[in-house]
Chains A and B, each alone.
Chain A
Amino acid sequence: MPATLDYILHLADNALILGQRNAEWCGHGPVLEQDIAISNISLDLIGQARSFYQYAAEIKGGDATEDTLAYLRHEREFRNILLVEQPKGDWAYTTLRQFFFSTFQLLLFQRLITHPDERIAAIAEKSIKEVNYHVRWSSEWVVRLGDGTEESRARLQQAVDDSWPFVNELFQVENFEIESAVQVNELQKVWTEKIQACFTEAGMEIPETAGARSGGKKGIHSEHLGYILAEMQYLQRSYPGCEW
């Protein structure tokens, strides 16, 4: 059974919005090598988003293209989770969020490679190598910051406190996911174990309370998304119908 349009858009939106956020570091990273690394991750995510949007455009048909889907949909139509649209914060927030997201994405893609929809399976397969690197890179930063100095540890703790409320949404099954071959709620246990293993090495603890924030998958976003889209979509909206 082919994947539904909403499901593909959800996968695409997650990747695009986090790619857009991470790109904010380009030229402003803490050290040149890491500036390159985070831009690279951003590029990978934008690449994944393009693959998903291109497929979604084929399914939608008509005049739809990767760009009409990314640039001409409104806030309420985006299906990304809230975690990816939160501001980039400091280096601790950015790397921790990446670790949470990439660990989830890896588990998801490892299952999507057997999805009956071959296009979805192929995109997942192609992306897994990249996501493996994202997990390794971000988990190394979590350990480094947790183990590093008093300040880095305090900042990482703040990042845990700030991002944790958004984590639960990763595993909440939305309508468009019910018919998908992968049930995200089944990933939560393994995900938590992976986070725990890294946190143990970093000397951090997983908060006891579950996160309460959700709504992104339904198109009920935080206020941040509107600004991301206003900036990202401005040229396409100012000069409709142009080639770039």
Chain B
Amino acid sequence: MSVHDLEKHFQDKIDQETKIEPLDWMPEAYRKTNIRQISQHAHSEIVGMLPEGNWISRAPSLKRKAILLAKVQDEAGHGLYLYSACETLGITREETINDLHSGRAKYSSIFNYPTLTWADIGAVGWLVDGAAIMNQVMLTRTSYGPYARAMVRICKEESFHQRQGFESLLVLSKGSPEQKAMCQDAINRWWWPALMMFGPRDTESTNSDQSMKWKIKRKTNDELRQQFVDMCVEQVKLLGMTLPDPHLKWNTDRNHYDFGEIDWNEFWQVVKGNGPCNKERLQARKQAWEEGAWVREAAAAHATKKQKRAAAYAA
């Protein structure tokens, strides 16, 4: 088949909702886009362990400590599935991780914000996991098979995390005046960064058109963001708290909530590396990797020796 025929055959499969599998022919740009997106997603899971891990030692009860530790451990598991999905596209986990450490690969900017109080852990669960789920539910139907299947597992756990986060805020919202204030403050700080998680406006998004055609993405950034706003406006009422946006208002024509403008200058600053914790997050990941080098080398050396001894014994 000529390249033209291969491309047509490929697009036909996508149009007919047949998943693309690792051994199928695919355009190089499709492979690259998936590598970029899946690895970015994997890195986000791993870097995302840091702001939440920040509160494990200080969790206010044994139950909360166990829930948080299990949650952060789940994120590591998600990272593993995603690095594996990425490997099916012909790039090793080590290469992918090197790209993170060199700054070539990105991760979700949301994790460059600090978790300052205990309420932030609830707010991250509710808003950050909530925003992530919008995107991830869509990705369970993405065209690349291994990615879609990884997302099915991840979505189940993420929606559990989101409920846990909300429940933890609910307890604070019914607590002492200090706890209520802590809860509102966390929502105020996490709301806008959570909205930024959906990326630039559709008119500004460079990767969107082709990704929609290939069904890597199935909804636009603005569609997902709107869905998220509509959901949160209702949920925040249950907390008896408010969202920090004076422009939030039900629009009967659109059947959606109108909302205020995101501070795009802040968005781009954080993307470019100038957020509150960009340096610390990357530094923590690099440090863990470098300090673990001797451990990985020892494990590899032992495995080789063991293999040789077994071979010698068999001979």
B73–A243 CB distance below 8 A: no
Which B36-77 residues have C-beta < 8 A from chain A?
A: 46, 49-50, 53, 56-66, 69-70, 72-73, 76-77
Q: With A47-B66, A148-B301, A244-B118 in contact, do A236 and B50 touch (Cβ < 8 Å)? A: no
B295: which A residues are within 8 A, CB to CB?
A: 30-31, 34, 91, 145, 152
Q: Known interface pairs A144-B299, A244-B60. Does A30 touch B176 (Cβ–Cβ under 8 Å)? A: no
Inter-chain contact B64/A244, CB cutoff 8 Å: yes
Query: A39 contacts which of B62, B63, B73, B118 (Cβ < 8 Å)?
Result: B73
How many contacts A-B (CB < 8 Å)? Answer: 135
Residue B297, interface by CB 8 Å:
yes
Residue of A nearest to B51 (CB): A27
Query: Which residue of B66, B69, B302 is within 8 Å of A148 (Cβ)?
Result: B302
Interface residue from A24, A36, A50, A244 paired with B77 (Cβ < 8 Å): A36
- Do B50 and A23 touch (CB < 8 A)? no
Which of B66, B70, B79, B302 contacts A32 (CB under 8 A)? Answer: B79
Which of A24, A27, A147 makes the CB contact (< 8 A) with B284?
A: A27
**B296 interface contact, C-beta 8 A:** yes
Q: Is the Cβ of B69 less than 8 Å from the Cβ of A239?
A: no
* Cβ A235 vs Cβ B118 within 8 A: yes
Cβ-neighbour of A151 out of B168, B171, B298 (below 8 A) = B298
Which residue of chain B has the shortest Cβ distance to A16 in the bound complex?
B62
CA distance A29 to B76 in the complex (A): 10
Say whether B171 contacts A243, CB under 8 Å. Answer: yes
Q: In whole Å, how far is A80's beta carbon from the nearest beta carbon of chain B?
A: 15
Nearest chain A CB to B121 CB, angstrom units: 10
Contact with A along B179-191 (1 / 0, CB 8 A): 1000000000000
CB distance from B157 to the nearest CB of A (A): 13
Report Cα–Cα, A33/B296, bound state, in Å. Answer: 11
Question: Is B313 located at the chain interface by the 8 A CB criterion?
Answer: no
Instruction: List the B residue with the shortest CB-CB distance to A241.
Output: B176
The yes or no answer to B236 lying at the interface (CB within 8 A) is: no
Q: Type the 1/0 row for A141-153, where 1 means its CB is closer than 8 Å to any CB of B.
A: 0011101110110
Flag if B60 contacts A235 (CB, 8 Å).
yes
Contact yes or no, A242 B73, CB < 8 A? no
Q: Cβ of B46 and Cβ of A32 under 8 Å apart?
A: yes
- Bound together, the chains give a CA A30 to CA B291 distance in angstroms of 7
Chain B residues in 8 Å Cβ range of A91: 292, 295
Which residues on B sit within 8 Å (CB–CB) of A20? 57
Size band of the interface chain B makes with A: 35 or more
> With A43-B70, A242-B179 known to touch, is A149 a contact of B288 (CB < 8 Å)?
no
In the complex, what residue of chain B is closest to A33 when comparing beta carbons? B80
Binds B, one of A65-73, A119-127, A159-167: A65-73
A49 and B297 alpha carbons, distance in the complex (Å): 35
- Give the Cβ gap from A191 to chain B, nearest Cβ, in Å: 25
State the main secondary structure of chain B at its contact with A: helix
Indicate if the CB atoms of B66 and A149 lie closer than 8 Å.
no
Of A26, A66, A71, A152, the contact of B73 (CB 8 Å cutoff): A26
In the bound complex, do residue B292 and residue A43 qualify as a contact, i.e. CB atoms below 8 Å apart? Answer: no
Alpha-carbon separation in the docked complex, A234 to B292 (Å):
31
With A235-B118, A242-B179 given, is the CB distance from A27 to B50 under 8 Å? yes
Mark out the residues of chain A between 61 and 83 whose CB falls within 8 Å of any chain B CB in the assembled complex.
Answer: 66-67, 70-71
Contacts of B118 in A (CB 8 A): 235, 244
B240: Cβ under 8 A from any A Cβ? no
| B58 and A39 contact, CB distance less than 8 A | no
B241 vs chain A, min Cβ distance (A): 17
Contact between chains at A46 and B69 (CB < 8 Å)? yes
**Interchain CB contact under 8 A, B175 and A243:** yes
Q: A24-B57, A26-B72, A35-B76 are in contact. Are A149 and B298 (CB under 8 A)?
A: yes
- Knowing A50-B62, A53-B62, A151-B298, the reply to whether A27 touches B69 (Cβ < 8 A) is no
Contact between chains at B298 and A145 (CB < 8 Å): yes
Contact of B69 among A43, A49, A232 (CB under 8 A): A43
Task: Determine whether the beta carbon of B294 is less than 8 Å from that of A155.
Answer: yes
Q: How far is the CB of A75 from chain B (nearest CB, A)?
A: 17
Cross-chain contact B57 with A231 (CB below 8 angstroms): yes
- A242–B292 Cα distance when bound, in Å, is 40
Q: Which of B53, B58, B291 contacts A232 (CB 8 A)?
A: B58
Interface centre among A20, A30, A40, A149 (most CB of B within 10 A): A30
Query: Which residue of chain B is the closest to A238 with respect to CB atoms?
Result: B178
Q: A41–B77 Cα gap in the complex (Å)?
A: 15
A129 at the interface (CB under 8 A from B): no
A27 pairs with B83, CB closer than 8 A: no
Q: List 14 A-B contacts (CB under 8 A).
A: A26-B76, A28-B284, A30-B292, A30-B293, A34-B295, A39-B76, A46-B69, A53-B62, A91-B295, A144-B299, A147-B302, A148-B298, A242-B179, A244-B171
Given contacts A34-B295, A152-B297, A242-B60, 5 further A-B contacts (CB under 8 A): A36-B76, A90-B291, A144-B302, A155-B294, A239-B176
